[in-house]
Structure 1
């Protein structure tokens, strides 16, 4: 599936134009936030078309829809990040208070500091969970068009337990890290934006494939039961 994903951005006529537009948005988005909104909208469109069985990347058109979808996609990602961020912040505050209390000779200082470290550990765990489940949440948003669908814990957890989803997410993040990593290094010569965008499109293709096949498997299992 990974090899298929790496070929996906090149399929169909006009793919060079699509990559060029996405690369410009990626490059400008590194300086200002606004271009990242339609870029996220495009990636949501990749999720939608792939989950519907289309094997070619969509075009950059309907810019108003791209902005709306991008804002919704960003909202979902921010929502999933809130708990890890809050736990990390609380951990720093509690741990710092514990250190301060220890310096002041308070007996509870060490205990409070330990609690802070527990909160930071929980932050790391919830962050990993969010990174794992956000692709499913975004794919549900793309398929249904409903923001509430991105927070359907039962459906998302059911797909998340399927091996095909695990494999797809791992492969997607491998593609994202490797391809965009090369792009980040090359950004100094402006070519890197192409790699970054290309890697994102390949990864989102894998996200959609993994969730779609996993949710289909979950539905089949439910039906046979």
Structure 2
């Protein structure tokens, strides 16, 4: 009987340790890189992420189609507005943001691919335990495949691979993540954006999170 009870306890412990889908902290600050399979895009950005008020700030630079660029955008999903900010010239472009906010999270229908240690498990502080999940997401142009890796403890994003027919595989890697907002002013439009007029949509359609890159 004792042996049976011990077996049951061990079985429950194993089930409890199985990775589960999770949601990242609602406030995050850090850096990220984005690259495309077709080699048209390579970008690095600093980001501020606020899931509570549905706001994202991206300050990035990179290369797109062999041309360098710099971009500073503030995405306000509740107001459905995107600001393109030029702090050097104190100019601001205001455009529609026709997309719903999706928090950083592993969807409930995602499947666990693997749990591994990045780095080494030979000693304390030499590695980090992560979970990799795979699945499909419905997009306007059809289903898109994804593979997302997050830390086991804290659900901090590590990397995401996202595949669409238009761009092929897009790889986003996160680094220097901090739980919280380092500078709250980054998520508020600068004073010189106050009088910016909402621009009409052009032939390319309204601005979205993915069109920023």
TM-score if structure 2 supplies the norm length? 0.27
Higher strand share: 2
Q: By percentage of residues, which structure has more helix?
A: 1
